[in-house]
Structure 1
């Protein structure tokens, strides 16, 4: 995630900012153009850029209804759009009982993570175009006497147990499942991976390549998960082929774990690049200093170059965390097998981006 600057005073602001702390301008994020802008009010609840672009017309916007009602969103809705909610919030189909203040807090945290995911997917060219599907979200609470709410994906809908927004509950589940990493954004990145497998791989010419690398997804899924959890304490040697222990449970989970890690990678690299981060690995035998490059730059990113920056960057990140008494923020090591799968995801997305770019019109002779 990049950082932003107030377009009124130039002061540093962030993706979830609603007001510039330096000049006091009201801020909003424009999901259509991925811009953070200062806004000025108009009559009737409409808003306009405080510094309109020189395009010959001044666009008008509404704030997302969830900002007005709950102070929980900084995305806008463009004039002419009949939706009251922004493009991210309207993807949520089911909500927990928001009269419960604990649920209200959980929902706000989850929606913030969803907007973060929206941005990253948009930067990768994965937000839907006209007539294309987008993932839907059911954010559910557990009700006494009812079956437990399981986080997962089915037929384009991502279900998330809102208890995952509670740090103590997420930590309890992470320990119970022997996981090194468990976050809200991690959940969303993993589950959207299942959605994009359906969209990009399942019925495509890429399916056989997927099976050759990740395995045959026609293996019985439920039985595979049962086998994994039954043997979880005895599993060894997975590191050479998989990015996480859970990735070995089934090819679909291997894909989703790899997909989530690719989103981790591009997001963290973009953040580091926005701060113009230089990384020097303190190894006297191989001194190497490099400026972290934006993976969404003007030229298609080279995956090997991304990896060269990723490894020392995560070492720095983990070392900073340890200095503050925290666990490693990125508790993973990328084996050769995991890197091959990340490369496959990278090349799939780069190919899709090229296919979606407008082609120049042929000139008539």
Structure 2
């Protein structure tokens, strides 16, 4: 995530801010420039960018009224919704207690996901534009289903379903412990599920498929049987030597989705470190430990993934050390084995080629 500043006064602001705490100007995210801009009010809830009175007018996305979105839509647009909110097919039932709060948490994560996809240069197309190849989200609650039925988070041909219980910290922590996971976040769910979507768009029926199978395994293996085997027998004892998570051992598709999510974790966090000009230079570390680094490049602009890892690993050691000093669990409870490095490098190359070639999602 980039570091954003109010374009009126220069105050550092968060991605989700709707106004500047210092100068109180309203703020909105402009997708074409991919930046948060200060706004000057015009008539009938129309806004101009501060200092750019002739550059066109904007209005907030319709979901701004629910305090779930600060993205902008051109004033002459035929849609009420921004690029991120156009992806919503179903939102929570807002008359139910707590649903708006959960939806707000979901939208924070989803908007960050879409920003990362834009940074990667990947096309983001809704199913309203292309039913067959587009992307859509259903945010559902189990209490809206018939008794005994649960909403299962998952992906099906570009439709991502998320149980809104994942937006509740207590519910999510209970699920994490029940599933024996070391890491479970709302943003992680979005990144994992969208990984399935981009597998269909970037890997399936493309020249990448053979290298994919060498690294991740054969996706033609029966998924249902693989899932049953995983839950009956658990992961192999040596899974950490070949996979980023135990769940990644389930099936080739899940290995891809877990590794894809991890790739986005790395890229977004490193971009934040770059935006803050962070360096890691432990005073007592020896040269052999390789814990020194300066985050001197935006990872989205780095062609060689080994350079990304050279910045990433020392940063994670520092992150975990800081958390331990605060009495918190490690923020990065992972070990990246050489086999996983090769998978991450593959994803990096796939994404860079897709950006260079301008991959389309409209058919």
Contact map agreement 1:274 1:294 (CA 8 A) in 2: no
**Correspondence for 1:314:** 316
> For this pair of structures, how many residues does the alignment match?
351
**Correspondence for 1:294:** 297
Aligned counterparts, 1:172-211, within 5 A: 172-211=174-213
Distance 1:151 1:9, change over 3 A: same
**Correspondence for 1:20:** 20
Aligned Cα root-mean-square deviation (Å): 1.8
Q: Distance in 2 between matches of 1:315 and 1:235?
A: 27
Contact map agreement 1:270 1:293 (CA 8 A) in 2: no
Contact map agreement 2:219 2:251 (CA 8 A) in 1: yes
TM value normalised by structure 2: 0.92
1:122 aligns with 2:118: yes
Contact map agreement 1:295 1:306 (CA 8 A) in 2: no
**Correspondence for 1:360:** none
Q: Distance in 2 between matches of 1:254 and 1:62?
A: 41
Aligned counterparts, 1:42-53, within 5 A: 42-52=42-52
Q: Deviations over 1:146-180 (max 9, x none)?
A: 52110010011000000000111111111111110
Q: Distance in 1 between matches of 2:14 and 2:134?
A: 26
Contact map agreement 2:84 2:114 (CA 8 A) in 1: yes
Q: Distance in 2 between matches of 1:221 and 1:39?
A: 50
Q: Deviations over 1:283-328 (max 9, x none)?
A: 224376321133356x543211110111011111111111112111
Q: Point out 4+ residue stretches in structure 1 off by more than 4 angstroms.
A: 129-133
Partner SS for 2:116: helix
1:108 aligns with 2:111: no
Q: Which runs of 5+ in 1 are unaligned?
A: 358-365
Distance 1:77 1:285, change over 3 A: closer
- Correspondence for 1:304 among 295, 306, 315: 306
Contact map agreement 2:293 2:314 (CA 8 A) in 1: no
- Correspondence for 1:86 among 82, 100, 110: 82
Q: Distance in 2 between matches of 1:266 and 1:347?
A: 13
1:228 aligns with 2:230: yes
Q: Which runs of 5+ in 2 are unaligned?
A: none
Contact map agreement 1:135 1:156 (CA 8 A) in 2: yes
